[in-house]
């Protein structure tokens, strides 16, 4: 929470056309100071500070973009206010980040209407399906696909791939990649969801400096490893190790898009002033012109809308249509008092109309669609049939080979306790699988349910919310089991303590000190921590043979404890340094 004095109200940027139509260029967007943005990022557990946050503050709703020149924590606009409220709690709903770009049925249909050839989409789909097949056997292909997926559920898979594990020889990696493969292929078949390498989904922001002209946009994007290594940098400028400015013509639209005029072709430029503002993973729209560009894209605004942005020259149409008018109609005045029955009757009338429109006409002949959507669907259908009939076409199956390279000397001492934690994990994971209807482990670990209900298949937002809950529960379970495992009793283990951070005597119980993480001691006794660096531990129980509750925490004392007959030490790992 913070005080009202930390918030200022600034003016909206509006224009009135000759037809007396008022447009708001700053609809739904405000500003946040850099110092406060850093505080918010830390609270959200982010290592980097995003360029924009979608917020709820009192009765205000919208986006605040980082302004390095602002000294007020928040600068809000009247267009962000939805209702009066005395609540001063700041809620963060999302923030700017890398989001991959995908075509869908609506965008493909509109681009086809504007002159993009069917062969372009067919080639993109073939390329994507071929890549999805390759991830099951090729580590480099798997890294390319996993790298564009966000979320903690991909971190382990990506880390294992980067450390040399192969998809067709490591069971866990193979299982996770198969889940990604099946889900992506199902989305291509049902939604024409085709990955666009030269594109992003970006949150909309405003050019507060007023340097962009109508028809221009600015966007600096986070670049992935394969983009940095690629030689095709014709659309990139001012690139560094993590990001680059996109220049040239770009296609911009917003989902859902149903009118050809929703597809806008704009010019992405490099603007030094905006570059100094440090906005990354945002599309910055101008505050000049007869009409805001966000409004031209399906009637969008800047209160958190995400925009499809593509700089692939094959997907940029040579012509565009006039944008549709999305100004809402004025409410109709009635000559009588509105009764409770009238809205119900109107809803019933609309429901009957929709029912008649979507009802299946069983007596009507079916036909094969010759349009681009029909071609894309039939291509995936035939591909699906070939996959089911040739299940081994990806190469050799996963080999159940025990990897001796992963063994740590003396691991047998921890086998019993490890089995207990594994059983605990499996028991709780099975409960989650039963609750959400997951049939296999990979479904619950990724949130990609293969046999989800028809209702969830149709309701994309509802399914996204459920998947988010699944991943949150899985993450909580993994954290719980890891925390439990860190507090187990270590029998006969020497801890090599960092010099200068030892207790030279007295009661060690309840005290914290820093110890090194070692793979094994000089005597070949394994250490429970793997990896390098140090951890902070607290002694919660200390009872070696002959000890009366005190011990000299020196190297020699710990060396004595390395004797298996010396007793036991119970430690609790509090945090990683």
Q: What percent of the chain has pLDDT over 90?
A: 44
Q: What pLDDT sits at residue 105?
A: 95
Please indicate whether residue 576 or residue 413 has the higher confidence score (pLDDT).
413
pTM above 0.75, yes or no: yes
- Could you tell me which residue, 415 or 212, shows the higher pLDDT? 212
Instruction: Collect all residues with Cβ–Cβ distance below 8 Å to 513 and sequence separation of at least 6.
Output: 497, 501, 502, 503, 536, 537, 539, 553
Mean pLDDT computed over 2-10: 83
**Distance separating alpha carbons of residues 93 and 304, to the nearest angstrom:** 10
Instruction: Copy the structure tokens of residue 510.
Output: 């309840």
CB count in 10 Å sphere of residue 75? 20
> Of the candidates 298, 297, 277, which has an alpha carbon nearest to the alpha carbon of residue 206?
277
Task: Give the pLDDT confidence score for residue 401 in this predicted structure.
Answer: 64
pLDDT tens per residue, range 19-53: 788 899 999 999 999 999 999 999 988 889 999 99
DSSP 286: P
The CA distance from 558 to 389, in Å, is 62
- Cα separation of 2 and 88, whole Å? 7
Could you tell me where the beta strands, DSSP code E, fall in 185-256?
A: 194-195, 199-206, 216-217, 220-222, 236-237, 243-246, 248-253
Q: Which residue has the tokens 């002949």?
A: 365
Question: Tokens for 38?
Answer: 């850093």
What order of strands is seen across the sheet that includes strand 306-310?
216-217, 264-268, 248-253, 306-310, 199-206, 282-285
What tokens appear for 10 in the block?
Answer: 């600034």
SS (H, E, C) 132-195: HHHCCCCHHHHHHHHHCCCCHHHHHHHHHHHCCCCCCCCHHHHHHHHHHHHHHHHHHHHHCCEE
What torsion, rounded to 10 degrees, do the Cα atoms 369, 371, 375, 378 define?
A: -20
Quick one: average pLDDT of 249-271?
A: 95
pLDDT at 230: 72
Fold classification of 198-315 (topology level): Barwin-like endoglucanases (2.40.40)
Residue with tokens 């962009």: 212
Phi then psi for residue 182, to 5 deg, are -65, -40
Task: Determine contact, residues 502/553, Cβ cutoff 8 Å.
Answer: yes
457 burial type by CB count under 10 A (0-12 exposed, 13-18 middle, 19+ buried)? middle
The pLDDT assigned to 356 comes to 66
The pLDDT-based confidence of 231 (bands split at 50, 70, 90) is: low
DSSP for 343-403, written as a single string: HHHHHHHHHHHHHHHHS--TTSPP----SHHHHHHHHHHHHHHHHHH-TTTTSSPPP----
Q: What is the pLDDT of residues 467-482, one digit of tens each?
A: 888 988 998 898 888 8
d(CA 210, CA 205): 12
The four Cα atoms 144, 148, 150, 155 give a dihedral, to 10 degrees, of 10
- DSSP H helical ranges for 194-340: 225-229, 272-277, 293-296
* Residue, of 66 and 382, whose pLDDT is higher: 66
The residue that leads in pLDDT, 7 or 537, is: 7
pLDDT (tens digit, 9 = 90+) per residue, 81-128?
Answer: 999 988 888 999 999 999 999 999 999 999 999 999 999 999 999 999
- C-alpha triplet 400, 385, 455: angle, nearest 5°: 90
From first CA to last CA, the distance across the chain in angstroms is 29
Does the structure show a pLDDT above 70 at 394? no
Quickly tell me which residue has 């996109």 as its tokens. Answer: 246
- Please provide residue 8's backbone torsions phi and psi, each rounded to the nearest 5 degrees: -120, 150
Q: What is the pLDDT of residue 395?
A: 42
The arithmetic mean of pLDDT across residues 51-59, rounded, is 94
Give the pLDDT score at 400.
Answer: 56
**HEC letters along 406-455:** HCCCCHHHHHHHHHHHHHHHHHHHHHHHHHHCCCCHHHHHHCCCCCCCHH
Whether residue 527 has pLDDT greater than 80: no
Give the SS3 label for residue 462. Answer: helix
């Amino acid at each position: 929470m913070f005080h009202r004095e930390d918030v200022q109200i600034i003016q909206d940027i509006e224009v009135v056309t000759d037809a007396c139509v008022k447009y708001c260029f700053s609809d739904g967007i405000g500003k946040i100071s850099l110092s406060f943005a850093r505080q918010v990022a830390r609270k959200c557990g982010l290592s980097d500070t995003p360029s924009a946050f979608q917020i709820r503050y009192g009765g205000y709703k919208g986006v605040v973009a980082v302004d390095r020149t602002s000294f007020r924590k928040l600068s809000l606009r009247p267009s962000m206010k939805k209702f009066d409220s005395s609540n001063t709690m700041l809620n963060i709903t999302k923030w700017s980040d890398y989001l991959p770009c995908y075509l869908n049925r609506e965008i493909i249909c509109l681009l086809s209407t504007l002159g993009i050839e069917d062969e372009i989409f067919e080639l993109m789909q073939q390329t994507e399906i071929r890549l999805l097949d390759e991830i099951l056997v090729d580590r480099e292909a798997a890294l390319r696909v996993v790298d564009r997926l966000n979320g903690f559920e991909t971190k382990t898979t990506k880390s294992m791939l980067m450390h040399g594990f192969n998809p067709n020889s490591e069971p866990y990696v193979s299982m996770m990649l198969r889940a990604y493969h099946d889900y992506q292929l199902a989305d291509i078949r049902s939604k024409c969801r085709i990955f666009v390498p030269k594109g992003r989904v970006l949150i909309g922001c405003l050019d507060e400096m007023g340097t962009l002209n109508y028809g221009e946009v600015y966007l600096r994007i986070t670049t992935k490893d394969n983009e940095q290594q690629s030689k095709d940098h014709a659309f990139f400028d001012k690139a560094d190790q993590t990001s680059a400015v996109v220049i040239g013509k770009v296609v911009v639209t917003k989902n859902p898009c149903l009118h050809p005029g929703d597809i806008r072709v704009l010019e992405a430029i490099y603007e030094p002033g905006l570059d100094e503002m440090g906005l990354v993973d945002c599309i910055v729209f101008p505050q000049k012109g007869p009409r805001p560009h966000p409004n031209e894209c399906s009637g969008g605004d800047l209160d958190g809308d995400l925009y499809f942005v593509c700089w692939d020259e094959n997907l940029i149409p040579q012509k565009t249509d006039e944008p549709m008018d999305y100004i809402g109609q004025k409410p109709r005045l009635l000559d009588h008092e509105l009764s409770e029955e009238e809205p119900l009757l109107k809803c019933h009338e609309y429901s009957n109309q929709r029912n008649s429109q979507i009802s299946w006409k069983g007596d009507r002949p079916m036909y094969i669609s010759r349009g681009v959507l029909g071609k894309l669907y039939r291509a995936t259908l035939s591909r699906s049939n070939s996959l089911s009939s040739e299940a081994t076409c990806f190469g050799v199956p996963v080999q159940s080979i025990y990897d001796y390279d992963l063994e740590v000397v003396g691991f047998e001492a921890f086998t019993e306790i490890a089995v207990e934690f594994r059983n605990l994990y499996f028991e709780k994971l099975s409960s989650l699988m039963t609750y959400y209807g997951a049939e296999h482990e990979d479904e619950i670990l990724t949130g990609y349910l293969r046999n989800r209900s028809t209702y969830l298949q149709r309701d994309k937002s509802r399914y996204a919310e459920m998947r988010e809950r699944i991943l949150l529960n899985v993450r909580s379970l993994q954290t719980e089991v890891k925390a439990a495992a860190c507090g187990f009793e270590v029998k006969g283990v020497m801890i090599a303590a960092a010099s200068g951070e030892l207790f030279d005597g007295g009661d060690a119980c309840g005290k914290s000190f820093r110890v090194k993480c070692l793979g094994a001691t000089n005597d070949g006794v394994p250490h429970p921590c793997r990896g390098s660096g140090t951890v902070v531990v607290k002694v919660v129980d200390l009872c070696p043979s002959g000890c009366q509750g005190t011990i000299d925490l020196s190297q020699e004392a710990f060396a004595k404890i390395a004797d298996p007959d010396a007793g036991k030490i119970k430690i609790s790992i509090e945090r990683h340094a």
